[in-house]
Amino acid sequence: MRKLIFILFLLTVSCKTKMAAPSGMVTHKAMVVSARSEASKIGANILARGGNAFDAMIATELALAVAYPYAGNISGGGFMVYRLNDGKTGALDYREKAPLAATRNMYLDASGKVIPGKSWFGATATAVPGTIAGIFEVHKKFGSLPFSTLIQPAIDLAQKGVIITHKQDSTIKYYKKQILKVSGSNNFFAKDIKEKDTVRFTQLANTLERIKNNGRDEFYNGTTARLLVNFVQSKGGYITMEDLQKYEAKWRDPVEFRYKKLKIISMSPPSSGGITLGQIMKMIEPYNISKYGHNQAKTIQLITEAERRAYADRNYFLGDPDFVEIPTAKLLDKSYLKSRMSGFTFKQPTLSSSVSHGNIEIVESDETTHYSIVDPFGNAVSVTTTVNGAYGSKLYCDELGIFLNNEMDDFSSKPGTPNMFGLIGAKANRIEPEKRMLSSMTPTIVEKNGKLWMVVGTPGGSTIITSVLQTILNVYEFKMSMQEAVNAPRFHHQWLPDDIKMEPGRFSKKVKEELTKLGYKINEHNSRIIGKVDAILVRRNGSLEAGADKRGDDTAAGF
């Protein structure tokens, strides 16, 4: 008996030491974490009114379209991964599509060279938007409150106005020249917008009001559709009424795999997120990474080598599953991944030039935005949404109050040639009419011992996948609280360029010296921040801890 009590005591002590005290906001029933406090509060308020996670998703997505034009949108696209309280999982793909008029060489000149900027700036870069189709699809399948209730807070916010934050002030200033160049000097964003100003988005409020009154068709076959098509075509773009009428969001099976005691549920193609995350996690799984220590040289080395191999596969194999055959099972197969790691040794780096497949070079960006939601019923949604670049194509349509996306740049304009992000694509992601372009967005939900454990995701281009990875490992392997895991310094490797990007000044000299001595190149120059993770951790006692990334204005709200 004494022995049993002693064992129980030891177990209690060890359990206690394993659980970091929360350092982020804690609530007991429900939570929304997003890039803007207005959006998190609007989402949480819908939950407080009895709405479920899907109702809150719609309200949050629309609120971000108003409060965060940098990446929030009704003119872009995204992905949602969900887990219901009974454990059922699923995913929605509301990624943009290439217009019917798209051709493989549409961004090449007569001599076959990529025309600089054509897939990046202005109407020629714009793909058929999916966001409105996405939220109506969510409402049809899972919504419990009337759509008008879910869109009204965004309309009110647009009319009442958004207070410009310090960080927003900086980004508007940073991109203003480009916006003026593309949209002209009379457009809405040409006026002097600065910190603490209240900016009212009246035209956007009108667009949202019409969507409230006329439903999904307003955007894909109504007044808004006609205004959008006329505007895009007047600026030399390709979208037609037929493109809008044919757009459909698609329910997909998420990518699911195990990592030790965790089950990871993440986004399937046309996002590369789930498969690449799975490959990296399965390659590091056999190693006792927690023993190596958080952000220690051995840990960084192991993760780097797994990332190198996974990113080499990424662009060679992945694209829109409706157009290309993707060997998902093989890519996530244990013995395949073991063979990928067979040349790995802690003694020296593997040269990227000796790792086959793909010709990929990606430079990260911190555009795009992510939000995580858990409702009082135990349902969870993880959503990443984007207009691709910051303020999309920089083309603002005053009449509709929206920036147009530049998602066409996520295709490989010319296999073998870098796009504006330095991404050199392969055939699997070449342009075809009605095809969805490859994404890195990685909205993810994690179960531990069969129960909801974490909801996580981030913006950050190619660094999305590795930021999600590090956040999960920080809590699971390195026993951090949710907020600590989000705060922790991040690094990134993506096969090419063959360097380890690190958030500047956040890694110890000793670790950098150890890695350099082994032959790794450290790059602290072009990654001021890596990712802006918004996550929720379900703690053992059922409470929810937020990880809201202070690299941005990201905020949690809940009750």
Q: What are phi and psi of 471, to 5 degrees?
A: -65, -45
Q: Can you tell me which of 441, 502, 529, 538 binds ligand GLY, judged by CB under 6 A?
A: 441
Q: Is 439 in the site for ligand GLY (CB under 6 A)?
A: yes
Alpha-carbon Rg for the chain, nearest whole angstrom, is 23
Smallest gap from residue 479 Cβ to ligand GLY (A):
30
Distance CA(516)–CA(230), nearest Å, equals 55
Q: Are 552 and 38 in contact (CB under 8 A)?
A: no
Which of the residues 321 through 360 are near ligand GLY (CB under 6 A)? none
Distance CA(78)–CA(130), nearest Å, equals 7
* 439 in a known ligand binding site: yes
Q: Among residues 388 and 471, whose Cβ is nearest to ligand GLY?
A: 388
Distance CA(455)–CA(446), nearest Å, equals 6
Task: Tell which residue, 38, 46, 45, has the closest CA to residue 160.
Answer: 38
Q: Is 369 in the site for ligand GLY (CB under 6 A)?
A: no
Please give the C-alpha separations between residue 28 and each of 50, 87, 447, in angstroms, as whole numbers: 15, 20, 18
Distance of CA 377 to the CA centre of its chain: 25
Q: Among residues 24 and 69, whose Cβ is nearest to ligand GLY?
A: 69
H/E run at residue 148: helix 147-160
Active site annotation includes 240: no
Q: Among residues 300 and 387, whose Cβ is nearest to ligand GLY?
A: 387
Q: Are 368 and 385 in contact (CB under 8 A)?
A: yes
Name the segment binding ligand GLY (CB under 6 A); options: 107-115, 222-230, 259-267, 438-446.
438-446
Q: Can you tell me which of 243, 366, 410, 554 binds ligand GLY, judged by CB under 6 A?
A: 410
Smallest gap from residue 175 Cβ to ligand GLY (A):
16
Distance CA(266)–CA(257), nearest Å, equals 9
Smallest gap from residue 237 Cβ to ligand GLY (A):
18
Pairing between strand 500-502 and 77-83?
unpaired
* 486 in a known ligand binding site: no
Q: Can you tell me which of 440, 481, 527, 555 binds ligand GLY, judged by CB under 6 A?
A: 440
Which segments of 344-443 are extended strands (E)?
369-374, 380-386, 396-397, 402-403
Say which residues have a Cβ less than 8 Å from residue 166's Cβ, sequence separation at least 6: 195
* 386 in a known ligand binding site: yes
Name the segment binding ligand GLY (CB under 6 A); options: 142-150, 274-282, 437-445, 545-553.
437-445
Which segments of 410-460 are extended strands (E)?
444-448, 451-456
* 461 in a known ligand binding site: yes
* 95 in a known ligand binding site: yes
Please give the C-alpha separations between residue 338 and each of 273, 284, 335, 343, in angstroms, as whole numbers: 20, 10, 5, 10
Strand order in the sheet with 444-448: 26-27, 544-548, 534-538, 451-456, 444-448, 262-266, 255-259
Q: Can you tell me which of 388, 412, 474, 555 binds ligand GLY, judged by CB under 6 A?
A: 388
Q: Can you tell me which of 40, 382, 386, 555 binds ligand GLY, judged by CB under 6 A?
A: 386
Q: Can you tell me which of 368, 369, 466, 487 binds ligand GLY, judged by CB under 6 A?
A: 368
Q: Among residues 22 and 76, whose Cβ is nearest to ligand GLY?
A: 76
Which of the residues 448 through 507 are near ligand GLY (CB under 6 A)? 461
Task: Tell which residue, 153, 120, 143, 147, has the closest CA to residue 219.
Answer: 147
Name the segment binding ligand GLY (CB under 6 A); options: 176-184, 196-204, 436-444, 532-540.
436-444
Q: Among residues 195 and 322, whose Cβ is nearest to ligand GLY?
A: 322
Q: Among residues 153 and 269, whose Cβ is nearest to ligand GLY?
A: 269
Smallest gap from residue 409 Cβ to ligand GLY (A):
8
Q: Is 320 in the site for ligand GLY (CB under 6 A)?
A: no
Q: Which residue's C-beta sits nearest to ligand GLY?
A: 439
Q: What is the 3-state secondary structure (H, E, C) of 330-344?
A: HHCCHHHHHHHCCCC
Q: Which one is catalytic: 27, 207, 304, 368?
A: 368
Q: Among residues 93 and 484, whose Cβ is nearest to ligand GLY?
A: 93
Query: Which SS3 state, helix, strand or coil, does residue 404 take?
Result: coil
Q: Among residues 52 and 385, whose Cβ is nearest to ligand GLY?
A: 385
Name the segment binding ligand GLY (CB under 6 A); options: 128-136, 177-185, 283-291, 433-441.
433-441
Smallest gap from residue 207 Cβ to ligand GLY (A):
23
Distance CA(543)–CA(556), nearest Å, equals 14
Smallest gap from residue 134 Cβ to ligand GLY (A):
14
| Residue 262 burial class via C-beta count within 10 angstroms: exposed 0-12, middle 13-18, buried 19 and up | middle
Which of the residues 252 through 281 are near ligand GLY (CB under 6 A)? none
Distance CA(471)–CA(491), nearest Å, equals 11
Q: Among residues 73 and 368, whose Cβ is nearest to ligand GLY?
A: 368
Sign of the Cα pseudo-torsion (132, 133, 134, 138, in order) = positive
Q: Given the rule CB under 6 A, which residues bind ligand GLY?
A: 368, 386, 388, 410, 439-441, 461
Give the residue numbers marked as catalytic: 368
Instruction: Could you list the residues known to form a binding site, using ranges.
Output: 95, 386-388, 410, 439-440, 461
Instruction: Could you list the residues known to form a binding site for L-glutamate, using ranges.
Output: 95, 386-388, 410, 439-440, 461
